[in-house]
Structures are given as structure tokens and as C-alpha cells.
Amino acid sequence: MNETDIQLKMKKLRETIHYHNHRYYVLDDPLIPDADYDTLFRELKGLEDQYPQFVTADSPTRRVGAEPLPEFQKVTHRAPMLSIEDAHQVEEVYEFDQRVKRLLDLPVEAVIDYCVEPKMDGVSASLTFEKGILIQGSTRGNGSVGEEITSNLKTITMIPLKLNTVEAPPFPDLFEARGEVFISKEDFFMINQEREAAGAALFANPRNAAAGSIRQLDPKITARRKLMIYFYGPGYYGAWTFKNQVEILDTFRAWGLKPNPLTKLCRGIDEAIAYHHHIESERETTPYEMDGVVIKVNDSSLWAQLGSTTRNPRWMLAYKFKAQEAQTIIKSITVQVGRTGSLTPVAILEPVPLAGVMVQRATLHNEDEICRKDIREGDWVIVHRAGDVIPGIVRSLSEKRTGQEKRFTMPSECPVCSEPVVKEGAVHRCPNHDCLAKNTERIIHFVALNAFNIDSMGAKIVQQLIAAGLIHDIADVFYLTFEQLVQLPRFAEKSARNLISSIADSRKIPFHRFIFALGIRNVGLHVASILAREFPELEALQKASADDLVSIHEIGPEIANSVVEFFQADRNAAVLDKLFAAGVTIKYETEPPLTTQISALAGKSFLFTGELEAFTRSRAQELVSSKGGKAATSVTKKTDYVVVGKNPGSKINKARKLGLIILTEQEFIDLLAEKEKEI
């Protein structure tokens, strides 16, 4: 064969493989057995190895193999990636239908066609195709600018590297296809099992697993996660014309961009609502997570008339499913000791499947909460999980009591070190600085993300190192040696070497993360960032008095005292010396750290009014501060968000007058999860 023939043969093979991919992944209708497909694939691969000069970017062999990146590049979307307005109650769905008709000057009784699609609970991606070839893929980011993750997206076998042209309409020269990347419930369990075995932190839910996988700097890691994608619409689409959403999805399917097969055209809002209920009833048995349906006006000529707000198109609505609940038994109540010594009662449950995960534990927050809800060991309870939030107990089912249930009282001694417990407000606390539980949590916090960020050092490994007597305090982490590690069970040479090198890599650390890593009480990431901005270097912070500290905006006396106390303690001074002796260096930032990059809540103030369903008020406030936000107690111009529960007080009126952003509880929960969603 001469070179032209070889090129032709390779082209033919590529096209054949693309076509069989399409039959398999999009049409669910393979024409040839897997073994024949493998033969074609190997033949192409063989030719490509022999003639690398003829390899093309759209070759089906090019999915894996890209080199790890140092960081992600930014990509500006050609059309912004907006969000969708949420509805939880059926009345809101009727209101949406009425609003659509009002805006279109249609009579109240007009019947609108809606395209109803499952709302996939994953992460959105935008894929740019030029002349039918995938040239770029990105995350949503802030909606205008996302991160370039082309190599990662190429590892997803459901994404065509080249659009199908067989029996398909022509495609525009340049367009963006948008879809939701997700992972099946089953693969999520498998990944977590592997991670547990490896001592790595577990993903909280399939969405986090998908988000974590798609943002890997090394595409080989992404390739190992079995990510999937369903496409739901275009971004920028050039001169392409279409009549309606159903036609868009049909065309997408023909090109090889698979939409969710559970999509349905509904005549009128009642049919759309009925379909929502139908999909909700299939939720448990569907192999991936959905959190509602998206109801879209089908006729695309109406979209421009309806327009968009700054955040949402007015022609679609996300009708969310009910927060998921399940019934189970509390086998026992144990007490966990946190980093600051706080004792948290935790219900150990008879495992029960809920929203795609097996729920085995639920926090009971504190003793007051247990009394208020009258929760006893042995009780039947309703557990609830909303979005990302850890499961909570809604109530106990006292009618199912047998008389064998036991009331719970907080221990008077720390369950770990036996030190007598002290009570501060609603919180029970172990005051022993050297308590093993506190120490373990301190070290876990020290190496965690946003602190020293020692990736391969999960909680299990920290526990193992403490048990082996290799580390006693945070500074000891930097004195670990390869020889010590390889002797430990479950440490192979490679993992020992990896851990040592990630520890070495973490030695240089930005000032705000250093402060956060110390685990000073009341100093979360946001406060740490303020302190890093206000003090030129550590020495100045160490010397600061409580008065100096309270003069800083957002620093109150409680934080100030914790900081002063921390730096006055001799044992902390000793640990700091030990850290610097090990070569830890602080990078002082010339620019103030942008906490907004860390979480959607960072730097924002939240006020809660009315009763919340998913958490107690104090738990919600805790969540806000754990994500770098601030919980406010009164409504002022400076309040960023007012979260409204059931039966809100007068604060909501004041908030409206001031024109503040008002969130429903679900919107607040979504915001809590936003970082994971948007990255």
C-alpha cells in the first residue's frame, strides 16, 4: 500500500468506528459484536502506531493519553450558561404556566406544549464543535467563564469526537452543545469502595464524584471513572435553525449527542405535572440521580418573546422532586469528639437506601435537639437527605415504640479520654487538649484541602500514623520518612514514596491557608483570609492583642480571644517552631486572597427567618460559617441573602423593602452545593 492508500484506509477505519460508537452509545442498537469492534479498533491503533504522522485529532483512539495539566485554562462561553428557576410546589408550576401565557398574550385556557426532561444531578459541560469536530470542552464556571477540560471530556465514551453524518441533518459550522456529566449510582459506590480501601476521603454523593472526576488535572484519572453525559440543548449555535426543543434533541441524537431517553413532549401543564410524578416514582430504580424535571416551552419561536432574567430563561422551570425521606431504626447513639472538643451525638442507623446512597449515620447535633425531638435509642425514625446536606432525622415515630427504647443522655466524661466534660451553652465539650480524638481531628484538618492540602493523606491514614506512634502533633507530619512508612501495613513502596513527595510539595503554603490549617477555634477559611490580609506576616499576628483584632471589620471578641489564646499557649509556640524547623515556609500574598473562589458563600452574610425543614437554624448558621460566610441576626443593607423558611417573621418585609436577595430553603441548599456544581 502506498501512503495515500494507508491514509485512506485509516480514514475509513475511523469513520466505521465512529459509526459503530454512534450505534452503540446513542442509538443503543449495536450492529456488530464487541469483539469485531475491538478488531477494528486495534487495526486502526496499529496503523497509527506505525504512521503517527497520519493520526488525526478526531481519531477514536485519541480519548486517553493527554498529559496531565499544571492548571486549567479559562474559557469564555460564546453564550452564557444560565441557571433554571426552581419550583417545589405544584402551585408554583401552575403560576409558571400562567406567567408564560401572560407574557405571550395568550388566554388563560390556552394549552402550551412542554418538553419535559429529567433534571440530571451532575455537572454541566459545554462542548464546542467546529465543522463537526470536538475542539473544546469546558465547565460552567461562573456562567460566563468556565475551565477548559477538553482532554477530560474526550475520555467520556458517550461524547463523539466527531459528529455523525450518516442519516443526519447538516450541522452548523460552529456551535456549543450543552449537557450534564454524571456518574451512575453503581459506579459511585464502586469508586467510594476503592477510595475507602485506599484511605482516601469519600465522595458525599454521585454529583460530587462526577465533579471531582471531571476536574482532574490528569485525564487518565478521569478516564478510569465511568462518566456519562446526556445533552440537553445548544449554547451558541450560529445560523442553525430549529422549530422546537424536541427537534433540537432529535437532531442532537442524529449527530451523536445523546439526550436523556426519558424526555417527553407534554400537551399542557397538567400533563407535564403528571409526567413529573411519573419520573419521581421511577427515581429510586433509575440508575443515576435526578433531582427533578425541567419543563421547557417546546416552541422555540416563543423563547425570544419570553426572554431571560439575568439568571434564568423565562421559558423553562425546574420542578424539583420532594426531599427524600426514609424510615429506619436507630441502633444506637454514639458520641463523636470534634477538633475543638465538642461532643456531637450521632445516630447509628440500620442502613437504609436514600437518594442514591446508603444512609448509616445521622447527626443529632446536640442534647437539646435530642430532647426537643424526643429521640431515643431503638426508635423508628424518619431520615431525610436534601441535596448535599448530610442526612438528618426529621422525627421519631413514637407510635411504633415497644417500650424497649432507651432515652439518651450525654456522657459526663469524654468517651475517648475520660476527661470530665464541660457544658458551654448547648454544647458539651472535652477540655483536654491532648485528647486523642481532638488531636486526630486537628491533624486531619491540618492536612486537608484548603489547609496543607496533602492529597493522599486521608483520615484513615492519619489514624494509622497516630496508632503507629509516628505522629503526635501536626508538625510531626513533616518528619515522616519513607523508611517509616514502608514498614506499615497497606503501604507499598509506591504509596509511601507518593505520600512523602506530597508532604514535601505542601511545605510552601499561602499565609491564609497556613492560619486556617492551625485549627484555631472560630477561625474558618474566611476569617483566616481576613487575618492574612490584615497582618503582613505571622509574627505580627502572633503579637496582636484582642483589641487589635476586634478593630478589624468582621472580627468579633470571640474570634479575637481564640486567636490570642492560641498564640499565647506555649505548646502551640513549640509546634510552630517545630514546623518551621522542618522547612515549612509561608508564602505571603501580595493580593488579598479571593475567598469567593473558595465557596459561593464565602464573604456573604446570611439571615434566616422562619422555620427551616432540613436543618435547625443553628445548624444552618454553622454551615454558613463553615463555608466562609457569616450568619447575621438582623436585616441591614449589608445583608447579602435572606433565607426564608415557613412562617417567616417581619424580617422578610424589611428585606423586600431593602431589595435584598431572598432565597427559599432549597435555593439556600443549592447555594451550599454550588461550589461543587460550578467547578
CA-nearest of 33, 256, 14 to 156 is: 256
Among 137, 313, 524, 593, binds ligand IVH (CB under 6 A): 313
Q: Does 664 bind ligand IVH (CB under 6 A)?
A: no
Q: Does 232 bind ligand IVH (CB under 6 A)?
A: yes
430 is in an annotated binding site: yes
Site for ligand IVH in 387-416 (CB under 6 A): none
Q: In the complex with ligand IVH, which residue's Cβ is closer, 180 or 379?
A: 180
Give the helix/strand (H/E) hosting 595.
Answer: none
Q: Does 665 bind ligand IVH (CB under 6 A)?
A: no
Question: In the bound complex, what is the minimum distance in angstroms from residue 660's beta carbon to ligand IVH?
Answer: 22
Site size toward ligand IVH (CB under 6 A) is 14
84 is in an annotated binding site: yes
CA dist 280 and 276 (Å) reads 6
Q: Does 84 bind ligand IVH (CB under 6 A)?
A: yes
117 is in an annotated binding site: yes
Q: Does 168 bind ligand IVH (CB under 6 A)?
A: no
Q: Which stretch binds ligand IVH (CB under 6 A): 77-85, 277-285, 336-344, 514-522?
A: 77-85
Burial group, residue 189, by CB count within 10 angstroms (0-12, 13-18, 19+) = middle
Alpha helices, DSSP H, located in 139-287: 150-154, 185-198, 206-214, 219-224, 245-255, 269-281
Among 48, 117, 405, 676, binds ligand IVH (CB under 6 A): 117
Question: In the bound complex, what is the minimum distance in angstroms from residue 203's beta carbon to ligand IVH?
Answer: 18
371 is in an annotated binding site: no
Question: In the bound complex, what is the minimum distance in angstroms from residue 162's beta carbon to ligand IVH?
Answer: 24
Question: In the bound complex, what is the minimum distance in angstroms from residue 286's beta carbon to ligand IVH?
Answer: 13
35 is in an annotated binding site: yes
CA-nearest of 225, 239, 156, 242 to 187 is: 225
> Nearest-5° angle of CA 290, CA 293, CA 299?
140
94 is in an annotated binding site: no
Question: With b meaning 16 or more CB within 10 Å and e meaning fewer, what string describes 210-249?
Answer: bbbbbbbeebeebbebbbbbbbbbbbbbeebebebbbebb
Q: In the complex with ligand IVH, which residue's Cβ is closer, 81 or 515?
A: 81
Question: In the bound complex, what is the minimum distance in angstroms from residue 83's beta carbon to ligand IVH?
Answer: 5
25 is in an annotated binding site: no
Question: In the bound complex, what is the minimum distance in angstroms from residue 236's beta carbon to ligand IVH?
Answer: 13
Q: How many CA atoms lie within 13 A of 453 on its CB side?
A: 11
Q: Does 180 bind ligand IVH (CB under 6 A)?
A: yes
Question: With b meaning 16 or more CB within 10 Å and e meaning fewer, what string describes 20-40?
Answer: bbbbbbbeeeeeeeeeebeeb
Among 27, 82, 202, 546, binds ligand IVH (CB under 6 A): 82
CA dist 163 and 252 (Å) reads 9
Question: In the bound complex, what is the minimum distance in angstroms from residue 117's beta carbon to ligand IVH?
Answer: 4
Residue 562 C-alpha cell reads as 481564640
Q: In the complex with ligand IVH, which residue's Cβ is closer, 266 or 294?
A: 294
Q: In the complex with ligand IVH, which residue's Cβ is closer, 247 or 622?
A: 247
CA dist 521 and 524 (Å) reads 8
**How does strand 605-609 pair with strand 630-631?**
parallel
Site for ligand IVH in 120-139 (CB under 6 A): 120, 124
Among 233, 234, 256, 392, binds ligand IVH (CB under 6 A): 233
Instruction: Identify residue 357 by its one-letter amino acid code.
Output: V
Give the helix/strand (H/E) hosting 334.
Answer: strand 324-337
Among 17, 249, 273, 294, binds ligand IVH (CB under 6 A): 294
Report the SS3 class of residue 572. Answer: helix
User: From the CB of residue 472, how many other CB atoms can be counted at a distance below 10 Å?
Assistant: 13
374 is in an annotated binding site: no
Q: In the complex with ligand IVH, which residue's Cβ is closer, 283 or 654?
A: 283
Q: Does 119 bind ligand IVH (CB under 6 A)?
A: yes
Q: Does 83 bind ligand IVH (CB under 6 A)?
A: yes
Q: In the complex with ligand IVH, which residue's Cβ is closer, 120 or 669?
A: 120
**C-beta contacts of 359-366 below 8 A and 24+ residues apart:** 359/326, 359/328, 359/383, 359/385, 359/391, 361/391, 362/390, 362/391, 362/392, 362/393, 363/390, 363/391, 363/392, 364/333, 364/393, 365/616, 365/618, 365/619, 366/426, 366/427, 366/428
Please list the helix, strand and coil fractions of the chain in percent, rounded to the nearest 5, in that order: 40, 20, 40
Question: In the bound complex, what is the minimum distance in angstroms from residue 526's beta carbon to ligand IVH?
Answer: 26
Residues marked active site are found at 119
Tell which phi-psi region holds residue 13, choosing left (phi > 0), alpha (psi between -120 and 50) or beta: alpha
CA dist 501 and 491 (Å) reads 14
Which residue number places its CB atom closest to ligand IVH?
A: 124
- Binding-site residues for Zn(2+) sit at 414, 417, 430, 435
- Binding-site residues for NAD(+) sit at 34-38, 83-84, 117, 140, 180, 296, 320
- The site for ligand IVH (CB under 6 A) is made up of 82-84, 117, 119-120, 124, 140, 180, 232-233, 294, 313, 318
- Binding-site residues sit at 34-38, 83-84, 117, 140, 180, 296, 320, 414, 417, 430, 435
